[in-house]
Structure 1
């Protein structure tokens, strides 16, 4: 895929993926279009050599893999990992709030949100709704209002004179979106029914049973900057890595068994049935290699590239970085290192990645957090700790991580796609004497 086509497809993917459910559905559709066969965990699996497969869990996590050979214990896997979730505001179960003449929504903060960035934005609602049909079935459907239907207005400076000296947002009282005035009737369940009926004309609903809904910014993703070298969008952390991994897998020549795993709930610790700290990946791999000894052999002949955004040096806040480990946007993907295993990179996995990047003439940077600051983490140490796979943590340099609108480099995204596509073709990793 060429540079311009890649970035246009990336922007379309970001726009179509306001929630983990929608991101997983977007990837599912792309895989089906490329001839991947959908598997279901409750069914028996028959895997055929030369074919390509995928499976989802909870409609918010996905594993896709190629099987050019079924001798996984000898070939191992070339794995790429990312996560589908992003910090956001989620609707509470009893979300309707009427205060001082306005219909509002009660929300809960999901993950490490930069709350002030959600103020004065044109917001919409998307997610999953579970309902009962007229014939008694319980089913789930995705919903996306797309239109800006909510807003959280800022407080005027005249009523908050010290706002520029220090600012915080109370998540219980001060971040509730306004939908409309109370002179207009509003019933959330009826609103959802109307939206679902518009999206699914063949669906006959008896009642809404429950929902998992999030707010999101309706401003479209865009290439920005004087030379359009930046990508500005919501949810770059970490849908950017999901898209790069997906395209790398789709465009691989399938020389080696390759696997993409995109899991939910990373932003809140990954401990769930469909998170990286759950059994999803191991369940799939053990079904593909049920013999215990061969399973261990397959893992030890594998490598995982855990791709999650990295902190670029911000020119206005340069003192937040170790000056010797200060990544720049559009200067290459970042190898993330931490002595306390917040990242899973080691010298061998880093060397493999550096070697592959050099083959693509693609620059590599390195990030280590300042020694007097705390460090975040990724799915890398979790996955490596769960199944024992050698792992490297990398990421694309990003500004404003966890803001409602983040900024990354368009050249970085395309370069990482090229490197990961070559990684899926790499037949040998680390040579070891017998």
Structure 2
């Protein structure tokens, strides 16, 4: 399973690649693409929609119970996005003008071999996936030229990557896509660490663990649980979570609502069916950092390789409540998987997820969970090998309606 996940990471340097890879796997296992959410949306079998770096898939069993079991995650990760006119030359170096995407740990992106990946749209309105391979680097300033442990990083001035070849980025993107550079009329290209994931004993070091850990585990769980399912199973992997989810492909957009409403209409009142359903919001969780334990709640210490983390916040930064928490704990017990709990330190800000967004929009009871990580939002993050197996098993039990 670990090697399968590493392969998935390597093939998914952008949200668009991740969604396309999920779609390809669904096709290979008998799911059919839905273009218009027509009257067959509630027909038995597997269906999916892929759109703008997001993918929603659903499995309708024969004689399905009119109830959804949803696992929501996201395909995007923090980093840098190429600006519309990305070609810059300074001090004899060809560079790429980039905009900060989300909340990356800026210093972690320096001195790494970077690929640019995403999509380009040509004049015939065709979309093409792009992965340039390692072509760029953001070099650090030599220590002799500053004083202190870390040089100050100006987000505009100091984060522009240097290209290692004397060709503009869009020429490299065109070569990757197999099109002429002059035919590209628009692009969405993000940076990704070009190094493959590596197993370090019982740990996994890789980029984009937040949140491809959840995308991959939810896909594995859906495929493992579908043949014995009684409820309608849904995988929702959204784009743009790292920048607030407010897009047509994000959790704040209409995509999941349209799917659930359309499918539910074949069984009864959509609002009532959705209210009686349940969602797991699957997103990376914070493991306790051994060098900074004071940043964590003193009585809740999620650890690597000790199981998936149930995330709770009294101020609704997570959507978990007692009823949905119980559902998750029961699923973990049925799968023989240990479960941990994260609660924030009162003196430390708390992040959020798609959970409160989609739960509020849809009236869908939700629990927030995830694989514990160190170095979250770094160019290269760290998780436990065992936790990936635990998470896939727990999500499979959730989909199966564990009792």
- TM-score normalised over the length of structure 1: 0.89
For residues 357 and 345 of structure 2, what CA distance do their matches in structure 1 show?
Answer: 22
For residues 192 and 11 of structure 1, what CA distance do their matches in structure 2 show?
Answer: 24
Moved over 4 A (4+): 203-206
1:211 equivalent to 2:207? Answer no
Deviation of the 1:410 alpha carbon: 1.1
- Out of 159, 173, 178, the residue aligned to residue 162 of structure 2 is 178
Counterpart of 2:387 in 1: which secondary structure? helix
Contact 1:76–1:297 under 8 Å retained in 2: no
Counterpart residue number, 1:193: 174
For residues 360 and 293 of structure 1, what CA distance do their matches in structure 2 show?
Answer: 32
Deviation of the 1:209 alpha carbon: 0.5
Counterpart residue number, 1:51: 45
For residues 221 and 247 of structure 1, what CA distance do their matches in structure 2 show?
Answer: 19
Gaps of 5+ in 2: none
For residues 320 and 83 of structure 1, what CA distance do their matches in structure 2 show?
Answer: 26
For residues 215 and 204 of structure 1, what CA distance do their matches in structure 2 show?
Answer: 22
Deviation of the 1:293 alpha carbon: 6.5
Provide Cα deviations, 1:233-278, integer angstroms capped at 9, x if missing partner: 1000000100000000011133321100000010111000110011
Distance 1:353 1:192, change over 3 A: closer
Distance 1:69 1:389, change over 3 A: farther
RMSD between aligned residues: 1.8
Distance 1:48 1:261, change over 3 A: closer
For residues 169 and 348 of structure 2, what CA distance do their matches in structure 1 show?
Answer: 43
Distance 1:98 1:393, change over 3 A: same
Counterpart residue number, 1:65: 58
Counterpart residue number, 2:145: 159
- Out of 8, 11, 19, the residue aligned to residue 16 of structure 1 is 11
Distance 1:372 1:360, change over 3 A: same
Counterpart of 1:138 in 2: which secondary structure? coil
Aligned pairs for 1:368-383 (under 5 A) are 368-383=343-358
For residues 24 and 268 of structure 2, what CA distance do their matches in structure 1 show?
Answer: 35
Counterpart residue number, 2:291: 316
For residues 88 and 181 of structure 2, what CA distance do their matches in structure 1 show?
Answer: 25
Provide Cα deviations, 1:284-318, integer angstroms capped at 9, x if missing partner: 11111237961122112211011111110011111
- Look at both structures and tell me which one has the larger radius of gyration over its CA atoms: 1
- Out of 32, 39, 46, the residue aligned to residue 34 of structure 2 is 39
Deviation of the 1:55 alpha carbon: 0.7
For residues 346 and 44 of structure 1, what CA distance do their matches in structure 2 show?
Answer: 35
Equivalent pairs, count: 401
1:367 equivalent to 2:342? Answer yes
For residues 91 and 204 of structure 1, what CA distance do their matches in structure 2 show?
Answer: 19
Contact 1:150–1:179 under 8 Å retained in 2: yes
Counterpart residue number, 2:131: 144
Counterpart residue number, 1:78: 69
Distance 1:191 1:7, change over 3 A: closer
- TM-score normalised over the length of structure 2: 0.95
